[in-house]
Chains A and B, each alone.
Chain A
Amino acid sequence: MAVTTPTRPAPAPRPARPARSSFAPLNFWRSTIGKKTVMAVTGLLMLAFLIAHMLGNLKIFYGRDDFDHYADWLRTIGEPVLHGAWYLWIQRFVLTLAVVLHAVSAYQLSRRDLKARPAKYAHKQRAKAGYAVHVMRYGGITLALFIIYHILDFTTLTLNRHGVEGAAYDNVVSSFSVWWVTAIYIVAMIFLGLHIQHGFWSAAQTLGLNRPNRDRAVHGIATGLAVLLTVGFLIVPVAVLAGLVD
């Protein structure tokens, strides 16, 4: 091999830098940290909804009448201040917006991240990150598909075997009596737990709320929420499948 002297390469063309807008929120949305902040806020909003949702589901153990009455109330929260199902539609709008913003940010950031580091090293790196970090993307995609399936199952009742509007209790029992429906819920809720276990801590980090002396507490709360939601959501389908609720 002939001796060659390294020469500085011509500077690689820089990715076009979008001109800074005078509209600050646009700059925020365009930046990596801004998008990540959107993910953190929407993620925490969805998390708050999921905690309430999980606790509400447990009402099924009080029997058919209680549960159907509760399900009916969910559609009329806010009355009489708000008319009819207004609150329901506001909540649906906000949650849909949160899911869409979360998913769009995740997609855009992930694309950027994969492009920034195309080449792998010959060896695995130090295993600093746990399993939960590695399955954020797969888990997110699984959750997106699950959310669609879940809405078709219990909201529109398209896929529900019983599928009678107003009969929430019987609809739930009819779905979960089928083993593979329960299996889908089990897989999805395990991914949900993993997503929250990393996501909660990550959101605190993104929002700049972490401090070294809070780190253990934030990790602890993240794991606690993850277990609480996964177990709390899974009690119902497992109880139905086991014949404890019918």
Chain B
Amino acid sequence: MKLTLRIWRQAGPADSGRMVAYEVPDANPDMSFLELLDVLNERLTLEGDDPVTFDHDCREGICGSCGVVINGQAHGPRERTTTCQLHMREFADGDVIDVEPWRSVAFGVVKDLMVDRSGLDRIIRAGGYISANTGSAPEAHATPVPKPIADTAFDNATCIGCGACVAACPNGSAMLFTSAKVTHLNSLPQGAPERADRVLNLVEAMDAEGFGGCTNTGECTVACPKGIPLDSIATLNREYLRASLGRK
């Protein structure tokens, strides 16, 4: 396949950045999107050009590093798919593809397609965990969890912290991410002791990062590679209201 990539090039945080077009005449439909960028970068390196910087790690859809915006869609056109799991067979020979970094004031561009998502880490640090003594694993049957609750918690635990929800949101809001953490931990008995503090602290940290608010637009859930539903945001709102009313 012959493809034209128009990629956001930005030398560093201070640079203003621009779209630059590159031809990739030898793309293979079975390549992943990141492999396509690898092929382009190999050529750029050989030609003495600066390769395109992009974040990646696992390349199997579980680490959350690799997100870019492809033709205006976070992680590209295929739903529930990370950029690393997107294959070129989704595109047609001769396509022109625009590739941009996540856009949000809370995510500064480090270089080209790589952004600084550490704001999400600071949200986690504010309470996206349970406080438990480490040591030998507790007896699994000591704390029974009803199946529907375990399912909800597990579904929300699949969030990989990629930031696509922020990138897709017209307000750059991190509500879907934060709601996944709160729904995951606050539905489980293990999360109960810190239930109220967790949601208050996470929301405070989220607001402090400069993310926008939720207007219930729903772009986030469509972009989310893990299908975190809007229902999690309703749960976050409910938990926040509950904790604000002073209930533990």
Contacts and interface: CB of A to CB of B under 8 A. Distances in A.
Contacts of A209: 234, 238
Contacts of B206: 32
B104 A116 contact: yes
B95 to A, nearest CB: 13
B72 A123 contact: yes
B139 interface: no
A28 B215 CA distance: 17
B191 interface: no
Nearest to A32: B213
A129 to B, nearest CB: 5
A115 B213 contact: no
A124 interface: yes
Contact of A136 (B69, B116, B212, B215): B215
B100 A122 contact: yes
Given A15-B210, A125-B219, A129-B218, A9 B13 contact: yes
Interface in B10-60: 11-13, 19, 45, 48-51, 53
A14 B229 contact: no
Looking at chain A's contact residues, the main secondary structure is loop
Contacts, number: 180
B110 A9 contact: yes
Contacts of A201: 216
Contact of B241 (A9, A112, A198, A207): A207
Contacts of B110: 6-9
Interface string A77-117: 00000000000000000000000000000000100111111
Contacts of B169: 117
A202 B216 contact: yes
A33 B217 CA distance: 15
Contacts of A32: 173, 203, 206-207, 212-214
A109 B172 CA distance: 12
A101 to B, nearest CB: 16
Interface string A1-33: 111101111011011010010001001101111
A36 interface: yes
11 contacts: A1-B49, A8-B110, A17-B204, A114-B171, A116-B104, A128-B221, A129-B217, A133-B216, A136-B215, A198-B216, A212-B229
Interface of A: 1-4, 6-9, 11-12, 14-15, 17, 20, 24, 27-28, 30-37, 109, 112-126, 128-129, 133, 136, 198, 201-202, 205-212
